[in-house]
Structure 1
Amino acid sequence: MEWIVITSVLVMTILSLLRVNVIIAIIAASVTAGLMAGLNIIESIELMVSGMGGSANTALSYILLGAFAVAISYTGITTILVNYLIRVLTGKKTMMVLVIAGVASLSQNAVPVHIAFIPILIPPLLKLFDKMRMDRRAVAVALTFGLKAPYLMVPAGFGLIFHGIIVEGMEANGSFITPGETALAMLIPGLGMVLGLLVAIFITYRKERDAVPGAGGAAIAMQTPEKENIKFNKKHLLTIVSIIAALIVQIITENLILGALTGLVFMFLFLVVPFKKADNIMTEGISMMGTIAFVMLVASGFGTVLQETGAVNALVELSSGYLQDNKALIAFVLLLVGLLVTLGIGSSFGTIPIIAALYVPICMAAGFSPMATAALIGTAGALGDAGSPASDSTLGPTSGLNADGKHHHIWDTVVPTFIHFNIPLIIFGWIAAMVL
């Protein structure tokens, strides 16, 4: 039973590396897990489908955020940003990548559109990337950094939700910690991501590289804003007001769907976007984010198969049985188990409750402090977002960088982010568990 997680995740990973479509790879992994647990193929698929509803809220929020991003783009405000970046940063590759990482970071806390901004902002820059011979893998790493590091370290926007899930998960299992302490505990793992970003930009992907036509398969169909000399006007000011309203509602309610709906409603009320364009905007939002939303649904089904068959519990129990009282070894093995579990599910937010239920009893018995336990849980969850084929933090960057069919999801996004973020996350997460 304890080998189910390892085998099924290996199946998904190997198929993805062989360029099999990620949805098919996840389904194959789910069926593998079900068969190993004694289910037949039909039962395995039915169990997977029953668990797809676990990410329904996330999938719907992504589609609405996609529509919100399309509406923002309709006003031309993103074109102003793109033209500014082209004018100021042409020829400055390092600065370009750092600015992209900064813009991506804003999407988690200041402007809560998560990955929805990427297909709007990145495609217009692709020709510039090619002209500068920029290694797109550096851009993928920068985007994933911006999608992850802020919510790990900053308790606002998505970070507020992430830290709240950790607190709730620990409290449900008998360990108590405040959101402020959780944020402090996650600073050390977050610094590991900062190091990984700097290594990718200044060392690994510093050299020039030509993008290969067809490397990512078919180009992703999406509308690319044309270069226009648009000046900031009242419409753009009202767009910013709508974005702020969406942020406030999202923070107060901790609900992405309500936040995105608020932003859309404000844009229609302010007549920033004509109401007659509503159908087109929703259709484009679904087109832009639909694939990612569906991958998240299937990944949630895979997570249900692993959980319902008892595979995750068996793996943790097997691991803890050999660890005895060695805290350093316990911390390291728990992080490796977290990597396996979250790599398959691909959602840090969705796996935290599962991980907390398994980790808290072990950590309490081994004498870890609540902050050290929070660091282990948060880091284990974060490992699933960087370097997983099914993660929105890797699917998002690919959706923008492969708009012209020159960027492969696995080899140009997943592998680079796994190397530069998962490895330092394990190291710095282990350090946090030891010193806190």
Structure 2
Amino acid sequence: MDFAFDARTEELRAQLLAFMDEFVYPAEAVAEEQRAALASPWDTPAVVEELKAEARRQGLWNLFLPDAEYGAGLTNLQYAPLAEITGRSPHLAPTALNCAAPDTGNMEVLAQFGDDAQKKQWLEPLLAGEIRSAFAMTEPEVASSDATNITTRIERASDGTDDYVITGRKWYISGAMNPDCKIFIVMGKTDPDGTDIRRQQSMVLVPRDTPGVTVKRAMKVFGYEDHYHGGHAEVFFDHARVPVSNLIGEEGGGFAIAQARLGPGRIHHCMRLIGMAERAIELMCRRAVSRTAFGKALAQQGVVHNWIADARVTVEQLRLLVLKTAWLMDTVGNRGAHAEIQAIKIATPRAVVDIIDRAIQLHGAGGVSQDFPLADLYAGARTLMIADGPDEVHQRSLARRELKKYL
């Protein structure tokens, strides 16, 4: 077994690490200062646009897309350590590289399932970082952990026009508060009475300025509004009309498209989570060697030794599992790597939450303050135990797969 990264990955890692040190980490405080002076908290700080321009100049752009026609042409295994690095500054780095959710998943959907006109109108400006997007799937009135429950309707217009009429209520729609968000990918039911519950759903493109589309309010996550990623919104679709040509793929293909979208999204989240854990370990160690309590440096306290050692072991385990999953996705496809994708989705957020929690504890009051990134990292990591399918759904599916061997 060869655990070394290939030459291209090593080159990009070195380039990205230098980019983080020279541009991203110094920009974190600058972005917060600039945001405080903005007319709207959802506007983008100037330094973020500067980071995007520099990343594009250096060729650190669209690294997530394996399709060389649209992206960097990297495999999942090549992209994994790069995504980990961006996870160390999860608000700025992914956006700077045009590798931030939900745009990444939406670009993957358009690249894989969009027609030529849809790619021209929406994929190209997304790839260029000129606009942002949102993915509207989760609903407040149903258990959205089961995507077949969604109630939003996508119906053919009854007046003879070649339109769809969309009616429904969505929430926690990532990116929708960003004024640069110009397009929604909306999942709803075109055939609610169909016998195959996985063929009832479809996906359509709905421009933000479509009459009947109302971004009602920002949804907070542990008190945070997540301004850098465009927030999370509650959105109403009140008989919003779009041309039938805005359908992505075919009618009834929405569930399959969602699964194709979420597979890469889950591993991307886990890659970045490892970077978040590494940032937490670094902060924990720096704190431990700089603070004294009861006559000894925190770094000399046995319990602190345990926290740091356990965190290191955990991160190394997680990284190997994520890299194995990336390798399987490259070699046998997302379907062949399904069990491993579920395993990392279960294991990684849970473990990273624990690491960040220990780092918060070591920082005392500072850990829960705005002076350190730990509270924000905790909120992001804890949310990923719910996002892209709650842990329990993945545990249920993984256990069934395991039990099949014995039935």
TM-score, length-scaled by structure 2: 0.27
More helix by percentage: 1
Report the TM-score, using the length of structure 1 for normalisation.
0.26
Relative contact order (C-alpha < 8 Å, sep 6+): which is higher? 1
